[in-house]
A and B are shown apart, each in its own frame.
Chain A
Amino acid sequence: MKIIVLVKQVPGTDSVKLDPVTGVMVRTGKDTIINPLDENALAEAIRIKNTYPDVKITAVSMGPISAMKAIKEAIAMGADDGVLVSGREFAGSDTIATAKVIAAAIKKTGDFDMILCGERATDGETGQTAAMIAHYLGVPAQTYVSALEVLEDGVIVKRTVESGFERVQVTFPVLVSVNKDISDTGFPTLDGKLKAKKVEVPMLGNAELGFDKSELGLTGSPTRVVKIFSPKLSRDTIMVKANATMQPIDELMSFLVQKDVL
């Protein structure tokens, strides 16, 4: 069985601070990490590999050359190999344009049974790319998956939805986007680290994928950002100190009544 895991490189949010005055995020480091939910997807792939020995895991990432780091990390954690999709033409792509490129790159790597990826990334937070990739590959997308059971010819997924869970059975090939409940993220192993050093990770650029330039980057993106602004973060806060009396609570209650929320 061949599993593709999509790993997106995102800014490490641990080093992000909030400017209390402007409400803007200040990146204090240049560190990048694998999108946390993609690590969960990778962990699930590894769990499956541990149960079914003939599983091969390929990590695919689209991004600048530095995204190689994400692929090497994925290999260190247990992926067998990887593919980096990189090229200047791809910069500025919105989700549709990104999905087309990633789908084309996956096609290049041959047949697969399952694509595992995160339900959304912490940077763009659109959570759209996965389903779009599924479309361009002509496979069904199962989203928000918190548990997965491998069958002979497909999988049963448990989707976490608004008021409960849905169980859906689907045949291979399939794309599955996961949430945090799926499998706990793992750690790099010594073997994996050695392998990550040795393995040659091929790069795919537009020379290999052959898109018309008009389909890529900004020109290939139907959406346009027209304005960026800071939301008003600080509110006019009424502050009270708790004391042994009921007075602060009473004040809160009348505030809530006045705001029409009780």
Chain B
Amino acid sequence: MSMYVNCSIAEAKNLSEFKGVFILGEQRDGKIQAVTFELLTWGRGIADDLGCELACVLLGDEIENLDEVILRGADKVFFIQDPIFKNFLTQPYSNAITRLVNEEKPEVIIAGATTTGRTVMPLVAAKTNTGLTADCTELTVDPDTKLLLQTRPAIGGNIMATIKTPDTRPQMATVRPRSAKQSPVDTSRTGQIIVKNYAGATTMTVEKFLEFIIDTTQAVSIEEADIIIAGGKGMKNAAGFKLIEELAELMGAAVGATRDAVELGWSTYPHQVGLSGKTVSPKLIIAAGIAGKIQFLAGMQTSDVIVAINKDPEAQIFKVADFGIVGDVFEVMPMLIETVKKIKASA
């Protein structure tokens, strides 16, 4: 086993040495993932506020359309290329990113609060001995101190906390997928692609990637979906919950569920929204037969538009809803499904 590394954050770091903003892009099967383009929006804004360059870091074997990252806002792409990076493995990924950070000394690093970002960033933070704020919904630059202000929900989403990393660099944060729009393509933009080859110790690992299994029930992943149709115990039974799935399929939406609905076996855990499930922030969420307990709200109250259908006019879900329908889901949902079908047919 390796040594326990014990070094103090008080160790003076020359803060002014650190310049530039990094975002950590993601790819699967060589395709750049949408979260990368959202991160470019965050990164571009911060880099402009700081008056510095924005670089996108991507790890992979072969990656399609690297240029797109530049057209969408990056000044530079660091492409760390090796067959080992085809799939995510904690050791080679965290080693390689740390090495690049030590070479390039960025002032800020932002990654997605995805399973990858939330795994690799803590490792990079620990390796570079700096702070990391998880799951931010807002990032701004303090106009006076030029520090990155990282705002995130805390205590089940009931409180927002703004956090800074004053004395160490880089300042690191993960941001929730969908908390920013994708940065648009600007074909006039130019930039530089720098390929890094870190073969050797950096890529060594005791981990072996075996396979990726697509979850067909997550045809649309709930964290990345624009629209979520969510159902709770008010859907009565598995057959009733099918109404949720039907509407979701029609609208190209993801299916969400409360913990109760998952525990009753109407849906599965990857679909659970809330404190002990996923945090989602889609453009639209329709919550049907859901009470709106605090643990559920914690996972979805930052959604852009919230629609609630519940027969109880006092249900707490209406407190966070933009549009509420008081009524029986078995009456309202079929009507909604019919209407969407009609709209689709006429489109």
- A2 at interface, CB cutoff 8 A: no
Pairwise interchain contact B322-A235, C-beta atoms closer than 8 A = yes
Produce 1/0 per residue, A232-248, CB < 8 A to B: 01111111111110101
- The listed residue (A132, A144, A165, A222) touching B212 by CB distance below 8 A is A165
Q: Which of B52-60, B111-119, B231-239 contacts A (4 or more CB under 8 A)?
A: B111-119
Interface mask (B189-230 → A, CB under 8 Å = 1, otherwise 0): 000000000000000011111111111001001011011000
Could you tell me the distance between the alpha carbons of A127 and B277 in the complex, rounded to whole angstroms? 12
| Chain A residues whose CB sits within 8 angstroms of the CB of B156 once the complex forms | 13, 16, 25, 122, 125
Interface residue? B284 (CB, 8 A): yes
Give every chain B residue within 8 A of A171 (Cβ-Cβ). Answer: 206
Q: Which residues of chain B are within 8 angstroms of A156 by Cβ–Cβ distance?
A: 210
Q: Which of A62-70, A173-181, A191-199 contacts B (4 or more CB under 8 A)?
A: A173-181
A224–B8 alpha-carbon span in the complex (Å)? 16
Residues of B contacting A130 with CB < 8 Å? Answer: 122
Does the CB pair B10–A214 fall under 8 Å?
Answer: yes
In this assembly, does B345 line the interface, its C-beta being within 8 Å of a C-beta of chain A? Answer: no
Verify if B41 is at the interface (C-beta below 8 Å from A). Answer: no
* Complex contact B305–A256 (CB within 8 A): yes
Interface string of B318-347 (1 = CB under 8 A from A): 111111111110011001100100010000
B182 at the interface (CB under 8 A from A): no
Find chain B residues with CB under 8 A from A146 CB: 269
Could you tell me if B123 and A168 are in contact, using CB atoms closer than 8 angstroms? no
Q: Are A140 and B4 interface neighbours, CB within 8 A? A: no
Partner of B321, one of A226, A235, A244: A235
Contacts of A17 in B (CB 8 A): 294
Who on chain B is nearest to A134 by CB? Answer: B123
A225 close to B (CB within 8 Å): yes
Answer whether residue A188 sits at the interface, using C-beta atoms and an 8 A cutoff: no
Beta-carbon contacts of A138-160 to B below 8 Å, as 1s and 0s? 11111110100000001010011
In the complex the two chains form, what is the Cα distance from A54 to B226 in whole Å?
Answer: 49
Nearest Cβ on chain B to A102's Cβ, whole angstroms: 12
User: What's the minimum C-beta distance from A132 to chain B, rounded to whole angstroms?
Assistant: 5
Contact between chains at A162 and B223 (CB < 8 Å): yes
B9 within 8 A of A: yes
B211/A167 in contact, CB under 8 A = yes
Chain B residues with CB under 8 A of A169: 207-208, 210
Q: Is the CB of A180 within 8 A of B10?
A: no
Q: Does A163 contact B (CB under 8 A)?
A: yes
Bound form: Cα–Cα A214–B156 in Å? 31
**Interface set, chain B 255-287, CB cutoff 8 A to A:** 269-270, 272, 275-277, 283-284
Which chain A residues lie closer than 8 Å to B90 at the CB level?
A: 131, 134, 140-143
State whether the Cβ of B158 lies closer than 8 Å to any Cβ in chain A. Answer: yes
User: If the complex has contacts A127-B134, A163-B214, are A224 and B164 also in contact, measured as CB distance less than 8 A?
Assistant: yes
Min CB distance A39 to B, Å, is: 11
Report the bound CA distance from A99 to B331 in whole Å. 52
How would you classify the secondary structure of chain A's contact residues: helix, strand, loop or mixed?
A: mixed
Query: CB distance A164 to B165 under 8 Å?
Result: no
Are B269's CB and A181's CB within 8 A?
yes
- Interface flags for A104-139 (1: CB within 8 Å of B; 0: not) read 100100010000000000111111111110111111
Residues of chain A contacted by B43 (CB below 8 angstroms): none
CB distance from B186 to the nearest CB of A (A): 22
Inter-chain contact B131/A94, CB cutoff 8 Å: yes
**Contact between A140 and B91, CB atoms less than 8 A apart:** yes
Give CA–CA (A108, B121) in the complex, Å. 26
Encode A60-91 as 1/0 by CB contact (under 8 A) with B.
Answer: 00000000000000000000000000000000
Residue A50, interface by CB 8 Å? no
User: Which residues of chain A are within 8 angstroms of B30 by Cβ–Cβ distance?
Assistant: none
Contacts known (A238-B323, A246-B335); A126 close to B157, Cβ less than 8 A = no
B5 at the interface (CB under 8 A from A): yes
Contact of A139 among B1, B131, B214, B305 (CB under 8 A): B1
Q: B301 in the interface, Cβ–Cβ < 8 Å? A: yes
Contacting residue for B320 out of A36, A142, A233, A250, CB 8 A: A233
A96 to B172, CA, bound (A): 12
Chain B residue numbers with a CB within 8 Å of A236 are 322
- Across-interface contacts of A229 in B (CB, < 8 A): 159-160, 162
Chain A residue with the shortest CB-CB distance to B302: A231
B88 adjacent to A166 (CB under 8 Å): yes
Chain B residues, Cβ within 8 Å of A51: none
Q: Are B115 and A18 in contact (CB under 8 A)?
A: no
Cross-interface CB contact of A159 among B115, B123, B166, cutoff 8 Å: B115
13 contacts across the A-B interface (CB closer than 8 A): A103-B4, A154-B206, A160-B115, A163-B215, A166-B213, A225-B161, A226-B149, A231-B160, A237-B323, A242-B325, A242-B326, A242-B331, A248-B325
Excluding A224-B164, A243-B327, 13 further A-B contacts by CB distance (< 8 Å) are A95-B122, A125-B156, A126-B135, A138-B4, A164-B218, A180-B269, A211-B6, A225-B162, A226-B164, A229-B162, A233-B158, A235-B319, A261-B227
Residues on A facing B (Cβ under 8 Å): 13, 16-18, 20, 23-25, 36-37, 94-96, 99-100, 103-104, 107, 111, 122-132, 134-144, 146, 154, 156, 159-171, 173, 179-181, 211-212, 214-215, 219-231, 233-244, 246, 248-250, 252-253, 255-256, 259, 261-262
Give the A-binding residues of B (Cβ under 8 A).
1-6, 8-10, 28, 87-91, 94, 114-116, 118-123, 125-127, 129-135, 149, 153-168, 205-215, 218, 221, 223-224, 226-227, 269-270, 272, 275-277, 283-284, 294-295, 297, 301-302, 304-307, 309, 313, 316, 318-328, 331-332, 335-336, 339, 343
